Amino acid sequence: MQVSVETTQGLERRLTITVPAASVDTAVKSRLQQLAKTQRINGFRPGKVPVKVIQKRFGAAVRQEVSGEVMQQHFYQAIMQEKINPAGMPNFELTKDKDGEDLEFAATFEVYPEVKVNGLDKLEVEKTVVNIADKDLSEMMKTLQKQHATYKECKRKAKKGDKLTINFVGSIDGEEFEGGKADDFPLELGKSQMIPGFEEPLVGAKTGDEVVAEVTFPEDYHAEALKGKAASFAITVTKVEGLNLPKVDDEFAELFGVKEGGLDALKEEVKKNMQRELDQTLKTKVKESVIEALLADNKVDVPKALLDQEVEALREQAKQRFAQQGNGQNLPELPADMFTENAKRRVSVGLLIGEIIKENKIEVDSERVDALIETTASAYEDPSEVIEYYKNNQELLQQIQNLALEEQAIDAILDQAKVKEVEKSFDEVMNKTA
């Protein structure tokens, strides 16, 4: 086998491979002899069809089949011989294929780029530090209290946080307009559900009161005929309901399945959950900071083959999300341009992280894998069952191992980079993330 390598452009390579005639002809002859034993042709006994007859009838198809196999086989031999790392499947071009002559073909493909990570000791990374304060736990308990609140009809004046039931009729220049009328409409004051100016006259209103709201529809309002128009809404309040918060005590704790330890046990569990979510958020933030610094300091040539694969993966993920939301049917083919930038970023990050793993000779830490599985499982009712499921599912286990390896690479970068710690509050970090 003779091999020549040519760099066509960028990461693209073209191998020209010559295979001795004897190798191909012998394979074709052997395949024809096998066919002669199995083919049934009129005038010949089974298994006794002359090879020349088989050659005449099936020779072209057999040679084409053998040539395809020869190209595949010799391509892999050639890239091993030349120590080439393809980034995708090759395009084959058969340039010479005649009986008794050497077979010649060309394989065009892209290779992985040579990735060189610049000095990690010069990377500047921001790391957020957060401590959960007593007030953070108190606010979380208030949130849980509101989530289990009920509404109770009251005779007082309405205030923000109350739920109102209203009838309204909208008009422009004294004329009612389509879509501007409703009866028994539920409205929670303070949630800004309606256009600006609608809720203000309702604060302080009681059951039976009639008020008028003067508003102007926004210029970007969804109904073309109403954009920028001034309108009046005649509103009648038919019911005012105030928020009835449950008492935060041992009985309240039972609503969350805490039957032993009462309120103190609930607070402990809530703080543990807050810490778990905070840790995950901070881990994500520092990872993003590392990746941004890496990408800023290291430019990577992205092979088109890898880019196309990633675009297709992102497109498939988008389809699945639409399907889960009930919008998967009749979905048009999403254009590649929607995903190209994100795909290029993901491939670049993967190549850089891969190089760091190789340079630092990082191997998967089984203890970290176990910790990741346990963290995931802790959010479920029966963690032990989830842990067992992950450890017996090779695909899921591989995903966790890949995640652990990536985290270890991030840790290796942080060990060498210039890390600036920034203290922030729990509310600042978690609410901004939300």
Q: What is the pLDDT of residues 4-23, one digit of tens each?
A: 999 998 899 999 999 999 98
Token pair of 262, please?
A: 């009462």
How many Å apart are CA 197 and CA 218, to the nearest integer? Answer: 11
Q: How far is CA 382 from CA 254, 260, 378, 392, 399, in A?
A: 18, 18, 8, 16, 21
How many Å apart are CA 9 and CA 301, to the nearest integer? Answer: 12
- Considering only 81-90, 181-190, 224-233, 325-334, which range has the smallest mean pLDDT? 325-334
Token pair of 291, please?
A: 């990746």
How many Å apart are CA 294 and CA 352, to the nearest integer? Answer: 8
Q: How far is CA 168 from CA 161, 182, 183, 316, in A?
A: 20, 6, 7, 45
Residues in CB range of 178: below 8 A, 6 or more apart:
none
- Considering only 67-76, 98-107, 291-300, 320-329, which range has the smallest mean pLDDT? 320-329
Q: What is the pLDDT of residues 193-243, one digit of tens each?
A: 899 999 999 999 999 999 999 999 999 998 999 999 999 999 999 999 998
**Segment 91-115 mean pLDDT:** 93
Look at residue 329 in the predicted model and tell me its pLDDT.
61
**Do 112 and 84 meet the contact criterion of CB atoms below 8 Å apart?**
no
Amino acid identity, residue 427? D
Selection from 127, 129, 117, 122 nearest residue 417 by Cα: 122
Tell me the pLDDT band of 434, cut-offs 50, 70 and 90: very low
Q: How far is CA 214 from CA 190, 197, 239, 287, in A?
A: 18, 7, 22, 49
Beta bridge partners of 215: 231
Percentage of the chain with pLDDT > 70? Answer: 95
How many Å apart are CA 399 and CA 287, to the nearest integer? Answer: 17
Phi, psi dihedral angles at 419 (to 5 degrees): -100, 125
Selection from 161, 144, 162 nearest residue 153 by Cα: 162
**Segment 39-54 mean pLDDT:** 69
Tell me the pLDDT band of 43, cut-offs 50, 70 and 90: low
